[in-house]
Amino acid sequence: MLKISSKSVEKMMPQDRLYSLRSLDTPMAGKILAFWLMGIGLLFFIILFFPWQQNIRGNGKVTALSPSNRPQTIETIIAGRIQRWNVREGQLVKKGDTIAVISEVKEKYFDPQFLVRLRQIIDSKESSLNSKDQKAQALRRQITALKEGMRTKINQAKAKLEAERVRFNNAKNQFDRNKKLFEAGNIPLTKYQDIEYKYQGAEADFTNAEIEIDRVEAEYLDKINKAESDLNNTLAEQFDTEADIAKLRNELVNMEIRSQQYFILAPQNGFVVKATQAGIGETIKEGDPVCTIMPQSDDIAVEMFVKAMDVPLISKGRKVRIEFDGFPALQFSGWPSVSVGSFGGTVEVIDYVNTKPGEFRILVIPDKEDEKWPKQIRNGSGTQGWVMLDDVPVWYEIWRQLNGFPPSLYEEPLEDSLEKIEKTKSQSTISEKK
């Protein structure tokens, strides 16, 4: 109705009794819907300017930061046959506890008295070595005595030679004088012949004295050479015996160490997770795994894998929010302050090479300033994590996600900034030197 007239007929004909008039009026539900839509739109518009903390998402699993605290396989060093199991799966073992006992499978080591017999052989060889050493010392003394005897005999022969030379010279002088007398007819022939005979005897004795020196020297040199030859042979036998003893001792030590390998020991405190060999009498080779041990340690970390395009934005010390499998959580990745059930961590290690094609591994440790991680988590449990970056408006994050752009980084990672500072310092130092 246009309500041009001053007189109203609404009292005479109520509007709600006429369908045509009722259809012209705006329904109350439409007004409420419009009101809510306007409110929601206004709220969404306001939310677009809220701060949103960018993050990098990655999946991974629980592990240990130190390699020594990760699950390790216990292997046998020698081949053998399982004789006895001393543990069961899930049992806590201490360092040095015997996990299993094996027995020999090589015929060379079947003799249970092998070590005793080997020590007896070594003792016999050592006794033989002592005898050869004593023989060598005796030969050295004999050589020394022969050299002293040769020196004495030669001195005696030289003294005798000197005496024979004097005697020969006297006989020669006497012979020369008597020869002149004989030629002059002053002495008889018999006397001259007697003097000549003595002269020839003295000459022969002098020659024999000279020969005696060479004979004594040759005789003693022959004895000395023979003694030295015996000494060299004895020394060679002694060296061979020492080599044999060294080999036997090496074999003895190897056997003693091998005998210790019959007992497979726990390398550190931990839980027996899985026995890879079963039963009694099963044969195993060198290097075959026997069981797996999970070390008992509080050292825990999360191994996360992130995309290669996001790695340059991550630096050591970045905050991380983590969800563990089996622990209910409600995570608002952009608003970590309102998240429930997630736990805090910090980036400790960033790999320098990709672990998977297009993915890099990072290690996250518990954040000391945040809630402690639950003790119930087990090594190998799955995780989801978010490496927290800087704050941006919500509208920017929506725009980035729709376009597939990587997260923005307003501040350089700490490692990159330190490298740039060091590079600047080095350049300034070079310029100052110039």
Q: What are phi and psi of 260, to 5 degrees?
A: -75, -25
What digits encode the pLDDT tens for the residues 100-115? 999 888 888 888 888 8
What digits encode the pLDDT tens for the residues 371-412? 899 888 888 889 998 888 777 777 777 777 676 666 764 444
Give the Cα separation of 431 and 94 in Å (integer): 61
What digits encode the pLDDT tens for the residues 224-237? 999 999 999 999 99
Residue 1: the pLDDT is 47
Hey, what long-range contacts does 422-425 have (CB within 8 A, 24 or more apart)? none
Domains and CATH numbers, the chain: 53-67+297-433 (2.40.30.170), 71-97+261-295 (2.40.50.100), 114-259 (1.10.287.620)
Helix axes 114-184, 189-260, angle to 10 degrees: 170
Residue 398: the pLDDT is 73
What digits encode the pLDDT tens for the residues 176-223? 888 888 777 777 888 878 888 888 888 888 888 888 888 888 888 999
> DSSP label at 17?
G
What digits encode the pLDDT tens for the residues 38-69? 888 888 778 777 776 777 888 999 999 988 88
CA angle 162, 167, 171 (to 5 degrees): 145
Residue 92: the pLDDT is 92
Return all residues near 353 (Cβ < 8 A) that are at least 6 apart: 360
Average pLDDT over residues 122-128: 91
Inter-CA distances, 2 with 6, 7, 25, 281, Å: 11, 12, 13, 107
Q: Under a CB-based contact definition with an 8 Å cutoff, are residues 256 and 115 in contact?
A: yes
Confidence of residue 365 (pLDDT cuts 50, 70, 90): very high
Q: What is the helix (H) or strand (E) element at residue 167, kind and residue range?
A: helix 114-184
Hey, what long-range contacts does 370-373 have (CB within 8 A, 24 or more apart)? 370/343, 370/344, 370/345, 371/343, 371/344, 373/300, 373/324, 373/343
Return all residues near 130 (Cβ < 8 A) that are at least 6 apart: none
pLDDT surpasses 90 at 304 = yes
Residue 10: the pLDDT is 55
Q: What is the helix (H) or strand (E) element at residue 291, kind and residue range?
A: strand 289-295
Give the residue from 134, 124, 133 showing the smallest Cα distance to 248. 124
319-325-329-333 Cα dihedral, nearest 10 degrees: 40
Output 24 or 313, whichever has higher pLDDT: 313
Q: What are phi and psi of 93, to 5 degrees?
A: -120, 150
